[in-house]
Structure formats: structure tokens, C-alpha cells
């Protein structure tokens, strides 16, 4: 059983509250929309459903097993527990399908606009290699459904982010800071793509060009002595 006083879990709860506030401040979601989670061993700490970010406390963060079972039936601190995010099935599906240690789901406006209008985010800038390459838009499914979770995983297609039609984005990383950074990057790329379209159909980078960028990034990372990240 996971106790609210475990150090790693306490850190995860605090980080989820902090990045939830940033989600609003950075315009990646409004109200209580969007959600974030962190994997702690065999458990997932995830933001609660329907709690506005400014009101969210560390004790409100929910804890579920990788199979969706609640692990904090007593609310962690003995109080009444909040309900885990409605998109918990999608977060768990991403953990099951990838090496993710943190997942961020946003309703960021540039991504939403793209999701309603396009089938993919093409490689109009080499920074898309940080997301694994050009991204697909997953077919529309109702929020919170197992069908949405399955569609998201299918359209991930080996990338570290996926766009959800008429909905938003899901991004993962080796920790919450990296997943969040990638969500910001994805919003920036979607905006740059929209601006590029204003000039006409943009030139996109080839697979060979993207592979060259990825290889150079790996080389520089190894040269720096920093460990590789998923």
C-alpha cells in the first residue's frame, strides 16, 4: 500500500499541483480541463476530476494502480478522496504502451485548432524530433472513454505525443518536467505550422533530415555526459 508520507509520492503530489498551476498560467488549459500524472513505482499519482487548479492541494491528488484500482480509498490523509481524472484510462494506456514516467494532457488552443482541421502535424521545424517526429491526429472519441485511450495509443505510432481530434493533446516524458516541456513545445509547433500555412503549403523536413537531427542530438547528449532520456 502506498502511504501519503512516502517521499517519492509526496514529491509527485507537490509537482502535480505546481505543474497544474502552470498549465493554466501558460494557457495550455482553462478551468479544471486537462490533467497530469506521474508514475511512482507500480502506482500512478494523477490530478483529480473537476477540481480547479488554483484550489488543488497535494492531498487532492489521487493514486491508482496501473490496472486502474484505487490505492487511496481513504483519501491518503484519512479524508474523503477526490475522484481521479476522467482521462485516467488514457493515462494508464500510455503507461502500459510506453516507457513513460509522466503524462500531460492539455486542451491547448493551437493544438485544438489543428486537431479540428488537419490529419497530422508535419515536420515544419526540426524541434519536432524531440517528440519523436511528425505527429498523427487520433480519430475523435468521447472524452474519458476506453475508445479514446485506445485511439490515442494507436496514433502515438512510436512518438512521444499524440493529437486528439476536436479535443487536445497527450504528451509523455521521463519525468513531469520533460513531459510538460514537450506539451509547451507541441503548442509552439502547432502555432508555427499555422503561421507557415499563411504563406502557402510549407516545405517539410524529410525523414533523412530528421534522422540527421536526432543523431546529432544523441551525439551531443552523450558528449555532455547526461544520461539518455526516453
Runs of H (alpha helix) within 35-133:
88-97, 109-117
Distance, CA of 43 to CA of 64 (rounded, Å): 6
Residue 224: how many other CB atoms lie within 10 Å: 8
Query: Residue 138 forms beta bridges with which residues?
Result: 164
In the three-class reduction of DSSP (H, G, I as helix; E, B as strand; rest coil), residue 27 is classed as coil
Give the active site residue among 8, 15, 82, 87.
Answer: 87
Eight-class DSSP state of 139: P
- For 121, what's the count of Cα atoms within 13 Å in the CB-facing half-sphere? 40
Q: 87 an active-site residue? A: yes
Strands (E) located in the chain: 35-40, 43-46, 62-65, 102-106, 120-121, 135-138, 161-164, 168-173
Q: Are 62 and 12 in contact (CB under 8 A)?
A: no
Q: Residue with C-alpha cell 490515442?
A: 152
Distance, CA of 36 to CA of 23 (rounded, Å): 9
Active site residues: 87
Amino acid at each position: 500500500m502506498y502511504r501519503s508520507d512516502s517521499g517519492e509520492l509526496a514529491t509527485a503530489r507537490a509537482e502535480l499541483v505546481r505543474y497544474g498551476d502552470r498549465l493554466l498560467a501558460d494557457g495550455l488549459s482553462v478551468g479544471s480541463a486537462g490533467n497530469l500524472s506521474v508514475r511512482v513505482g507500480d502506482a500512478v499519482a494523477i490530478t483529480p476530476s473537476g477540481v480547479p487548479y488554483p484550489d488543488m492541494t497535494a492531498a487532492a491528488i489521487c493514486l491508482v494502480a496501473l490496472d486502474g484500482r484505487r490505492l487511496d480509498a481513504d483519501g491518503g490523509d484519512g479524508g474523503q478522496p477526490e475522484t481521479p481524472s476522467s482521462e485516467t484510462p488514457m493515462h494508464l494506456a500510455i503507461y502500459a504502451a510506453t516507457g513513460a514516467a509522466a503524462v500531460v494532457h492539455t486542451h491547448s488552443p493551437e493544438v485544438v485548432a489543428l486537431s479540428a482541421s488537419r490529419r497530422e502535424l508535419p515536420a515544419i521545424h526540426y524541434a519536432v524530433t524531440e517528440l519523436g517526429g511528425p505527429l498523427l491526429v487520433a480519430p475523435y472519441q468521447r472524452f474519458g472513454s476506453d475508445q479514446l485511450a485506445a485511439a490515442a495509443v494507436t496514433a502515438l505510432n512510436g512518438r512521444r505525443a499524440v493529437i486528439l481530434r476536436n479535443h487536445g493533446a497527450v504528451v509523455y516524458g521521463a519525468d513531469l518536467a520533460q513531459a510538460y516541456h514537450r506539451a509547451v513545445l507541441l503548442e509552439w509547433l502547432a502555432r508555427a505550422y499555422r503561421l507557415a500555412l499563411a504563406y502557402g503549403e510549407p516545405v517539410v523536413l524529410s525523414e533523412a533530415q530528421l534522422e540527421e537531427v536526432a543523431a546529432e542530438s544523441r551525439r551531443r547528449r552523450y558528449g555532455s555526459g547526461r544520461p539518455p532520456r526516453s
